[in-house]
Structure 1
Amino acid sequence: MRTVMSEFLTTHEVADLLRIKVRKVYDLASRGKIPCSRATGKLLFPKDAVHRWLANNGTTPPAADEQQSLPNVLLGSHDPLLEWALRASGCGIATFFDGSLDGVMRFLDGAGMASAMHIYNRKSGEWNIPCVRDKLHHRNVALMEWAKRDRGIILSEACTRSVTHIADVAGLTLVPRQPGAGSQQLFEQLLDDAGIGESDCAFVTPERTESDAVLPLLEHKADASFGLPSVAEQYKLRFVPVIQERVDIAVDRKAWFEPAWQHFLRFCGSDTFANKTATTEGYDFRSFGTIHYNAD
């Protein structure tokens, strides 16, 4: 094992070799700029490949001290109010919402400048911070609170069952979300806590956004989904509150000071934003902007 491992360099050894900070090594690796391997779950660098790479690139690594600008795209979890705010602000930030976990992985690949998430850690009882510490600890990010919001069971008009708790969905046909969605991960945890297994319910095809998740209810293809009160109110469907979650946005700290993000933050301080959030069911913005994690 020692012979095999001697063929690889650690992150700190690469930093010493290149005379750069460890954070810059992680940045180069995440952008595919330096040969590396994650096969063991730990970031390792093939010694021979690194020396060849260094010889081909001169005495200093290209762009080691100059981080490339990330695209103005907000990744991760879909939140209807966040989507509205980005459009209404005119900040120019595009969106690619396909789930909290999907957003984290795309953020690692440099596909966007920020990623929204609501990832619950059952062991610690925390929202988002454990995931950021685990997945993004080497990235130059700040984790900003967007909002706390209620989440619960949305029921179709055709469902006549009395539902007051998560355990009451046993036997119903449910609308799941895609595996990378934070809401799906949370729903599965809550079902497990209530003693409900996969075989205790029927499931239709997964939906990818909060808004799309109610469509099978409107079409009478499913009885319930795990969603937001604002969406239930929009379609005049019954809503049973289950939990309050916290939605945060991991933002690249360099992108934080770019015009697009600053424009968006200014809009979030406007009367238009305040009026909209005050009249949208199920949101709590009193701690908006709180920084829950800041990279060292």
Structure 2
Amino acid sequence: MSGEHSQSYTTEEIAKLLKISKLTVYDLIKKGKLPSYRVGKQMRVDAADLEAYKRLAKGLTAVPKHPHLRGEEELASISPSPVVRSVIITGQDMGLDILAKHLEATLTGIRPLRSYVGSMDSLVSLYRGEADIVSTHLLDGDSGEYNLPYIRKLLIGSSYVVIHLLARQAGFYVKKGNPLSLRSWEDLNRQGLRLVNREIGSGARVLLDEQLRLHRISPSAILGYEQTDLSHLAVAGKVARGEADVGIGIEKAAAVVGNLTFVPLIRESYDLVLKQSPHNRDLIQAVLDILNSAAFQRELGAIPGYDLSHTGRILHQT
């Protein structure tokens, strides 16, 4: 197969190639027998991993290795050696990339994979068993509390642990010098103001929507409310280029993009959520050990705009 190291397949494509059901593919992935990773809302398998699995499967002879199994059951019973567990880490913050690197160096037999999805989709992925370590920064406007109100609603019936990663400032990206003097959420009600928004489900979008609701500002009255981008950097870049007057995001992106001013409005809590189970015990302990280590905090602390005073603290567990 040409270019097999760069090609990847969806679960539907894997099912067709192996002539098995999609449920069997999910079973292979769940048991760690077929390495996979998440891109957006799709699970994908690298061509190289598929070929390795097929080579192992070709060891089947006319006499079944497991006489009591037939067809898909026998295929699903094959276990690659050694088994490498893919650990999906969701979210967009740079701190998650540092965590993935430390996890790979700490735990043997795992392969951290990054999925760059928003907070709400991250929690849904954890609930569905499609992610292992998810990050979230979702404001509940009524209580002023971050994350836990959403986690309790979305992970109902699940056993989980919430661990604090970092705190950071969120607010407005505005043109350099803030010529429009945008200083509060109420200022978003100004006529003619051009906004660049984030995608539905992201923490920045939830923050904006909650503030608009609390201040009784109609989204339809804001120019550009429907115009969305997929990252803090993209939003900050549009404001810096003069394509919008204001965007919502975090302080770090403003420093990276430059040529704009950041107006801090709220201190947000950026937390990690993992399901609690015997299967995850070592992973949870490794995450706690890493977050509380001097090496990790020194590396993360080199990035401006982060408050690490409570990094590694367990906020809630069921």
Taking structure 1 as the reference length, what is the TM-score of the superposition?
0.67
Q: How far apart are the structure 2 equivalents of 1:137 and 1:103?
A: 15
**Other-structure match for 1:124:** 143
What does residue 281 of structure 2 align with? 257
1:84 and 1:156 mapped to 2: Cα distance? 31
> Does residue 275 of structure 1 match 2:305?
no
Task: Quote the residue 1:288 is aligned against.
Answer: 311
Segment of structure 1 superposing worse, 103-112 or 130-139? 130-139
CA positional deviation for 1:151: 0.4
Provide, for residues 57-110 of structure 1, a one-character-per-residue CA deviation record: whole Å limited to 9, x for no partner.
xxxxxxxxxxxx9841012x4223333443466454212122111111111111
Change (3 A) 1:80 1:166: farther
The residue that corresponds to 1:177 in the other structure is 198
SS of 2:232's partner is coil
Residue 279 of structure 1 and its aligned partner are, at CA, apart by: 3.7
1:200 corresponds to which letter in structure 2? A
Q: 2:245 aligns with which of 219, 223, 227?
A: 223
SS of residue paired to 2:229: coil
**CA–CA distance in structure 1, aligned partners of residues 205 and 311 of structure 2:** 24
User: Are 1:82 and 2:105 matched, yes or no?
Assistant: no
Q: 2:211 and 2:314 mapped to 1: Cα distance?
A: 27
Residue of structure 1 in register with 2:261 after alignment:
238
Structure 1: which 5+ residue stretches go unaligned?
1-30, 32-68
Partner of 1:114: 133
**Which amino acid letter does the alignment assign opposite residue 219 of structure 2?**
E
Q: 1:195 to 1:268 in 2, by over 3 A?
A: same
CA distance in 1 between counterparts of 2:240 and 2:286 reads 37
2:213 matches 1:189: no
- Kindly state the Cα deviation for residue 249 of structure 1 after the two structures are TM-superposed: 0.9
The amino acid across from 1:284 in the alignment is: D
Q: CA deviation at 1:206?
A: 1.0
The whole-number CA distance in structure 2 between the counterparts of 1:157 and 1:90 is 40
Corresponding pairs, count: 227
Write the distance in 2 (CA, Å) between the matches of 1:235 and 1:167. Answer: 26
CA change 1:253–1:124 in 2 (3 A) is: same
Q: 1:264 deviation in Å?
A: 5.0
Rate the CA distance shift 1:89–1:115 in 2: closer, same or farther, 3 A: closer
Relative CO higher for 1 or 2, CA cutoff 8 Å, sep ≥ 6? 1
Give the AA of the match of 1:188: D
Cα distance in 2, alignment partners of residues 271 and 101 from structure 1:
30
C-alpha deviation, 1:186, in angstroms: 1.2
The residue number in structure 2 matching 1:248 is: 271
- Percent of matched pairs sharing the same residue: 22
Q: Which residue is equivalent to 2:57? A: none
Q: Distance in 2 between matches of 1:82 and 1:127?
A: 19
Using a 3 Å threshold, how does the CA distance of structure 1 residues 279 and 251 change in structure 2: closer, same or farther? same
CA-atom RMSD in angstroms = 2.8
Contact 1:158 1:220 in 2 (8 A): no
Other structure's SS at 1:94 match:
strand
Answer yes or no: is the 8 Å Cα contact 2:161–2:317 preserved in 1.
yes
**Paired residue type of 1:226:** I
Among 61, 73, 97, the residue aligned to 2:88:
73
Distance 1:85 1:219, change over 3 A: farther
Distance in 2 separating the partners of 1:160 and 1:122: 29
Residue 96 (str. 1) matches residue 115 (str. 2): yes
Shift in Å at residue 229 of structure 1?
0.9
CA deviations 1:101-138 (Å, max 9, x no partner) are 11111111111112111122233332221222222132
Q: Which moved more, 1:151-160 or 1:282-291?
A: 151-160
Letter in structure 2 aligned against 1:225: G
Instruction: Decide which moves more: 230-239 or 115-124.
Output: 115-124
Summarize the Cα distance change of 1:142–1:74 in structure 2 as closer, same or farther, 3 Å threshold: same
Instruction: In structure 2, give the amino acid aligned to 1:72.
Output: V
Give the aligned partner of residue 3 of structure 1.
none
